[in-house]
A and B are shown apart, each in its own frame.
Chain A
Amino acid sequence: EPEVTQTPSHQVTQMGQEVILRCVPISNHLYFYWYRQILGQKVEFLVSFYNNEISEKSEIFDDQFSVERPDGSNFTLKIRSTKLEDSAMYFCASRRGNSNQPQHFGDGTRLSIL
């Protein structure tokens, strides 16, 4: 069964550095999402992406964050200047275009900011 894949599984970065998290969504999916989960807390929506543009974003998704689908297969999340509070699990999800189809999630990237 096709699945969403995320790399790396664990990323350790110094505070202030840029980091790029990568996702390969399921191939025939059209909608793409990033979520994050700080340790011990709820899964939080960050951003949704459709037709090569951001369709919705949360308050968390400020100017330090950006997303891109550079080549039709990868979907990336960039954090420009990381802060300690960016440490979290980051999950990518994708879904087909049908109105009630579910999102499917990857297993996440654990981002640790030192």
Chain B
Amino acid sequence: DAKTTQPTSMDCAEGRAANLPCNHSTISGNEYVYWYRQIHSQGPQYIIHGLKNNETNEMASLIITEDRKSSTLILPHATLRDTAVYYCIVRLELNYGGSQGNLIFGKGTKLSVKP
């Protein structure tokens, strides 16, 4: 699976949009981009995923560049409860090339939402 690069930490003011970048320049055609977050020591929480189109759900939006080498997770109106470590993970489609879908976590971006 392709490696990802994320900033170590970011700050965001409460109520503003939080834009978290991720570089995945070696991503291949069958690899999806997944975003998870981990609040304190809870289990990782799924946020959103995409292949090449932009995606939006009730939690966030995912913008993937046309060449798929980078993406941005957008939390439109950050709250204090969004303070967490955010992980960008690139993963092969299940069963493609023998992939069993296990996730490889990096260190992520520690997002601090401040009042």
Residues of A within 8 A of B (CB): 4, 31, 33, 35, 37, 42-45, 48, 50, 55-56, 89, 91, 93, 95, 97-108, 110
Contacts and interface: CB of A to CB of B under 8 A. Distances in A.
23 contacts: A4-B43, A31-B100, A42-B105, A42-B106, A43-B38, A43-B87, A44-B105, A45-B104, A48-B102, A50-B100, A56-B100, A56-B102, A95-B101, A100-B49, A100-B51, A103-B101, A103-B103, A105-B43, A105-B44, A105-B45, A107-B43, A108-B42, A108-B43
A50 B100 CA distance: 9
Given A31-B100, A48-B102, A99-B95, A43 B44 contact: yes
Contacts of A35: 103, 105
Nearest to A55: B100
Interface string B15-56: 000000000000000001010001001111110010100000
Enumerate the 3 nearest inter-chain pairs by beta-carbon distance, A residue then B residue, closest first. A105-B43, A43-B105, A56-B100
For A31, A89, A99, A106, the residue with the greatest tally of chain B CB atoms inside 10 Å of its CB is: A99
Nearest to A48: B100
Nearest to B95: A99
Given A42-B106, A100-B49, A100-B51, A91 B100 contact: no
B77 interface: no
A97 B93 CA distance: 11
Contacts of A101: 94
A102 B46 contact: yes
B38 to A, nearest CB: 7
Contacts of B105: 35, 42-44
A96 to B, nearest CB: 10
A33 B43 CA distance: 13
A89 B105 CA distance: 15
Given A31-B100, A44-B105, A56-B100, A99 B93 contact: yes
For B32, B49, B95, B105, the residue with the greatest tally of chain A CB atoms inside 10 Å of its CB is: B105
